[in-house]
Homo-oligomer: A and B are copies of this chain.
Amino acid sequence: MGHDGTRGRASGGNCDTASLQGFGDLPAETLAELEAICRTRSYAAGQTVVEAGEEAEFVGCVRTGILRMQKTLHDGRQHIVGLLVEADMFGRVFDGPLSVAIEAATDAEICMFQRAPFEALLLRSPELERLVLLSVLNELDRARDWMVILANPRVKGRLAGFLLILCTRFANVDHVLRPGNGRLEVKIPITRTDLAHLLGTRPESISRAFHALADDGSIVIRAPERIEILDVDALGTEAGDEDIMNFASLKDMMQVLQRRA
């Protein structure tokens, strides 16, 4: 499964909090206090960051890499309920234990803040509180996006929706999107098995759906994890076109690419 269940360990050193997305606008004083209570940790793909039900000792912020949030079912199967990327925060503030487990989907670097001092700082810094609130609000939106995708009755449609989300929401993350040489190529950041868990199906169906989209001419499978997007509109139709707005920027990018080619 690739999930070896080992825990990452602190690689020492504080993070440069000011370089975290969104944190730059915080007052220097707040940043200094954050700097004092944070630490960078590195995790290899498959390592566990937080167990479910754990009284999260830390509040974290992803610096590089991708984490997956998952719920463990009683029979041992695991359902992925979201991905965390650059600048995403996690860990319950003010509240009880975390309801999801968090594992590294790729090698990742995380900025960890000790929980108690972080909460104390939160009460004193409205700017930070606002940042956290926006972060959670953003995550809520993303969760709803997943819901719309999952509600699609056909696997092919769910996969199309997933690819579009990858192109829009995860666009400027890591190396997910590569608008190289006149083509739009996406790097699938998780395994087929994980993708199946995320989309509520089995790896076999994922594979078939990929090739069905390829047969339609919507995508080209250059490698299992490297997918070239050919027809955004077709994917949108397949996915149900949840939001036309979202694709506008993506379509623009496609046109620019085609003009360049």
Contacts and interface: CB of A to CB of B under 8 A. Distances in A.
A148 B71 contact: yes
Interface string A111-154: 00000000000010010011011101101110110111011110
A28 interface: no
B92 A197 contact: no
Contacts of A202: 153
Most chain B beta carbons < 10 A, residue from A143, A153, A201, A242: A143
B140 A79 contact: no
A147 B148 contact: no
A133 B144 contact: no
A192 to B, nearest CB: 15
A139 B240 CA distance: 25
How many identical subunits does the complex contain? 2
Q: How large is the interface on A (under 10, 10 to 19, 20 to 34, 35 or more residues)?
A: 35 or more
Nearest to A142: B143
A150 B153 contact: no
B241 A148 contact: no
A202 B151 CA distance: 11
Given A71-B148, A133-B136, A141 B99 contact: yes
Interface centre among A92, A150, A201, A241 (most CB of B within 10 A): A150
A121 B46 CA distance: 44
Contact of A133 (B93, B99, B146, B240): B93
A20 interface: no
A29 interface: no
Interface of A: 69, 71, 73-75, 77, 79, 81-82, 92-95, 99-100, 123, 126, 129-130, 132-134, 136-137, 139-141, 143-144, 146-148, 150-153, 197-202, 240-244
Task: Give 8 nearest A-B pairs by CB, closest first.
Answer: A151-B200, A143-B143, A150-B150, A74-B241, A81-B144, A81-B147, A136-B136, A79-B151
